[in-house]
Structure 1
């Protein structure tokens, strides 16, 4: 039997220090848990549910038991889900269960880059999630499965293809992401880019998405790690450029993916199933990157060697990972941390390159306290950590001076557009970096 969680000391007793292998449960805020590999993943996801999806910890339960009815040759049993999410402000009972999360320990591969699961492996994992959603009842309409390397979102359908209500069968489909909170009105039939307005990326989830994209390229496209990195960077440029065109010129988003694109498969010569991808998605992304190269022509950032050569399945996969996130309203630090981890896992140390820890970078910049009329130069800038933190430092000062607390995503997006223009103007005049690579 698993060890029961301990409680934090209260009353007159002083709180005891946590052991190196212990953590405070993010859901209850008081249970002391043994920090196993499986628990690390669950605690990460619990934070994501709060910070990215806006779910109240009071509406969650850890290790919630669902009763499995007896079948032919089997007895009735109970199975625990890692995290259960209930309707807001309702008792933690089955009739109010809305979402379930299954977390697994991160697999030990001994390698920096791990291949994305095959279609057959993913199907097995998703079937475990769907079976629990089925016995939980029709009110449980969203599921998530993750092992810190792979991540699957699932929706339980309420209607069939003809719009008739499903009563006696369970049908599921993959989602690019979850809606926020208890948003039962979320229309998953729309393309993934419709989520961008409400999806400021959590650090963990953005890092997760970046890592999965790079792993897919490196593991499935046959590219060395540095070439895989640059191909991913080209797609990231296309994503950021598309967001800029949408905001500043009111264009329709092109860095998007429909639900149907995520489920396209094809049969190989051996009879196995694999992701087929969407030629339409791939064409849009390649066109966006051509526009990016033209946009930065005067700066000479790209030349004829910069070509986006990823396959249709790879481009479809990456768009599915990144489209739900609005990078424009995501904190500079979140993008920087995710980018630095991606570069760090794949490039650092090859030529004696090592990163200054983020906490040290922030401390140095806070001490220097650069002003808007002062110039900052980093002669060994690497991935630009000190330059990025300088922008972050200025942004925090501006927000504090202007009471930058925003009530909704639209207001935040408008204010961030003004901040981005100020930051760009500062960077053009006062921010410099140099590096031998």
Structure 2
């Protein structure tokens, strides 16, 4: 994003927001931030970014008069009306209608439901296409007239975008160009699908996994765009749903068969078969498959940024694995800060020995992907870099090679191993080196992937040819001493116990037996001489008198690069812990035991963009008013002809009150990164 230079005081005088207010992206007016208003803002952005309608052709809260069937004059208000380009804002010029309610409204309600509002609006205006949503559910409708003027309204899976017709959607089918998801669209879509499976398919225990199976069918089908081209085949989408296909049992069965056939193929594919055991099945009804497929078929997962996909994916993970296993994952802003400070490149072999759902690994992959894209397309804008980093074949080939050979993740939870693999595939592959082991037990243990790690690491070293820089004291076929960088947030706390048979293998166990303390030593073992580590640690290790020996051990083995103190809000509301980010570099032999004098970057993050309840907090002025920043938002996406088009809009936005981006920028400035 590019920011305009504007005096903050002047901006404050023009617009002052209370805590429950926002500025409408369409009208630039202040609105109360109700659930409905927030959803409406999302729909406006969606119509602009995904469907490519111009903001100048939209009008919110549009009221007009009409005559009902009995000739009585009535008045109606449409939440969002979209008019023909540059046409007068009259009812006869409306091309799309969007009806928006909060989650309390039900689709069958006699006053607020689909028929009572959307169908009525279509009939009153003569508009052909409309959408009804309450956030949790979304319905599209198509008003049709036969040759003699009889009117019928039909459910459809989507409505056409700007300059598109229903015939475009019907005729293109397997050749249609999916849209690039805007803002929170994927989050809402994933949640909508998950809730549907949970509530309508009886999948209370495995809705998450059933949804992921279908998401992976979609990703597999999109990746054929590249793999078919490499084989000289003409690509045709197979993961698609016809405009009215889900309306009949026959159509639902056709969709389900198409999707299930994809699933059987992907389980045997070289890229995907390591994610699945091979005996998985899509166990949903034909209706359930058709519903979910209709929701996600319209979006391009490869074109979506890793940040958009990662946020959507982790939203579903957080509502499933966290609740089931008490898992608490690292917030994305903390992960991003750690990765930006360490600045890995495509020559770095990276490990997270407690990888969870793969948040660090995905962020590393995206960081390196953008570096590669910038190197190839140095003259392109940031918006184009965003798009090309996900869609360019040359970039994808280099990124895939890097991810498959240089990114590693270990976790002792088999469900998290699978979740991390899926997260990596969604982000751009590199899932083959995600292993189910207890990192603290390595090189011993009995978990199934233990024997595969040494071979995978040896293959990686052979691929890069960097054995000479590895730790000469570690065995050649061992994972010890082979990694350039480690990113991790190890499990910590008094409730997490480590078996005595594991503890006794660690020097640090003389002073600390908690997992986070032992992870420090094990990470040291995994690193090359000169290798770097970014780790989340509880402040007790860094400040308690009884852990002084641990700190002495750390400083004897590592150079301290940087330390960032986090506020208690960092991991709330999941868990309240005072923690810091520690950045360390493993000393090489000649440095061990030497007297040292060097500079250390230190910072205190007082705000991390949220309060103790997890609610977002935004930057404010000295009087406590939220500051609005005029911002030019640019994005690039491929149109239905495959052309890369850059579009933009100017909007006033709040910024999260988060010190971490400023801290990472200051570090990069000092270090010349």
Give the TM-score taking structure 2 as reference length.
Answer: 0.54
Answering whether residue 248 of structure 2 is matched by residue 264 of structure 1, we say: yes
Q: 1:414 to 1:224 in 2, by over 3 A?
A: closer
Q: Deviations over 1:29-48 (max 9, x none)?
A: x2011111211111111111
Instruction: Return the match for 2:238 from 254, 258, 264.
Output: 254
What is the SS of the residue equivalent to 2:223?
helix
Contact residue 192 and residue 320 of structure 1 kept, 8 A: no
CA contact (8 A) 1:64 1:80 kept: yes
In structure 1, the partner of 2:119 is: 130
How is 1:110-129 mapped onto 2 (pairs within 5 angstroms)?
124-129=113-118
- The match for 2:38 is 40
Change (3 A) 1:118 1:62: closer
Per the alignment, residue 330 of structure 2 pairs with 356
Q: Secondary structure at the match of 1:61?
A: strand
State the match for 1:20 in structure 2: 19
Match of 2:204 among 211, 216, 224: 224
Q: Secondary structure at the match of 2:170?
A: coil
- 1:295 offset after TM fit, Å? 0.9
1:189 is paired with a residue of what secondary structure?
helix
Q: 1:169 to 1:379 in 2, by over 3 A?
A: same
CA distance in 2, matches of 1:298, 1:91: 52
Q: Following superposition of structure 1 onto structure 2, how do residues 60-79 of structure 1 map, counting pairs within 5 Å?
A: 60-72=58-70, 75-79=72-76
The match for 1:3 is none
**Matching residue of 2:54:** 56
Which of the pair is proportionally richer in strand? 2
How large is the Cα RMSD of the aligned pairs?
A: 3.1
1:13–1:355 CA distance, 2 compared to 1 (3 A): closer
Distance 1:187 1:418 in 2: 31
Q: Structure 2 vs 1, CA of residues 299 and 37 (structure 1 numbering), >3 Å: closer, same or farther?
A: closer
- State how far apart, in whole Å, the 1-side matches of 2:319 and 2:390 are: 34
**Compared CA separation, residues 359 and 297, structure 1 to 2 (3 A):** closer
Q: Which residue of 166, 174, 181 corresponds with 1:201?
A: 181
What does residue 295 of structure 1 align with? 269
Name the CA distance, whole Å, in 1 between partners of 2:226 and 2:11.
55
- Paired residue for 1:89? 86
The structural deviation recorded for 1:25 is 0.3
Aligned-residue offset at 1:354: 1.6
CA distance in 1, matches of 2:58, 2:29: 14
1:240 matched to 2:239: no
Find the structure with the greater CA-based Rg: 2
Deviation at 1:75, TM superposition (A): 4.6
Structure 1 pair 371–323 and aligned structure 2 pair: CA distance change class (3 A): same
Q: Is the partner of 2:239 in helix, strand or coil?
A: coil
**Mapped partners of 2:216, 2:399: distance in 1:** 18
1:99 aligns to 2:96 (yes or no): yes
Between the aligned partners of 1:169 and 1:336, the Cα distance in structure 2 is 47
Deviation at 1:219, TM superposition (A): 1.4
Match of 1:100, SS state, is strand
Query: Does residue 425 in structure 1 map to residue 409 in structure 2?
Result: no
In the alignment, does 2:258 pair up with 1:284? yes
Q: What is the CA distance between 1:24 and its match in structure 2?
A: 0.4
Q: TM-score under structure 1 normalisation?
A: 0.81
Residue 192 of structure 1: how far off its partner (Å): 4.9
Give the superposition deviation at 1:51. 1.5
Tell me how far apart the structure 2 counterparts of residues 230 and 386 of structure 1 sit (CA, whole Å). Answer: 22
Secondary structure at the counterpart of residue 77 of structure 1: strand
2: CA distance, partners of 1:405 / 1:328: 19
Specify the alignment match of 1:315 in structure 2: 289
Tell me, yes or no, if structure 1 residue 157 matches structure 2 residue 144.
Answer: yes
- Give how far 1:343 is off: 1.2
Closer, same or farther in 2 for the Cα pair 1:91/1:421, shift >3 Å?
A: same
Partner of 2:361: 387
Q: Could you tell me how far apart the structure 1 residues matched to 2:398 and 2:262 are?
A: 25
State the alpha-carbon separation in 2 of the partners of residues 400 and 289 from structure 1: 35
In the TM superposition, residue 67 of structure 1 has moved relative to its aligned partner by 1.4
Give, in angstroms, the shift of residue 302 of structure 1. Answer: 2.3
Please state if 1:171 is matched with 2:146: no
Mark the CA change 1:232 to 1:296 in structure 2 (over 3 Å): closer, same or farther: farther
Correspondence 1:366 to 2:355: no
Deviation at 1:380, TM superposition (A): 2.2
Larger displacement relative to structure 2 (343-352 or 368-377): 343-352
Q: What is the deviation of 1:18?
A: 1.3
Contact 1:52–1:202 under 8 Å retained in 2: yes
Q: CA deviation at 1:254?
A: 1.8
* Contact kept in structure 2, 1:21 and 1:34, CA below 8 Å: yes
Q: Residues 248 and 127 of structure 1: is their aligned pair in 2 closer, same or farther, counting only changes over 3 Å? A: farther
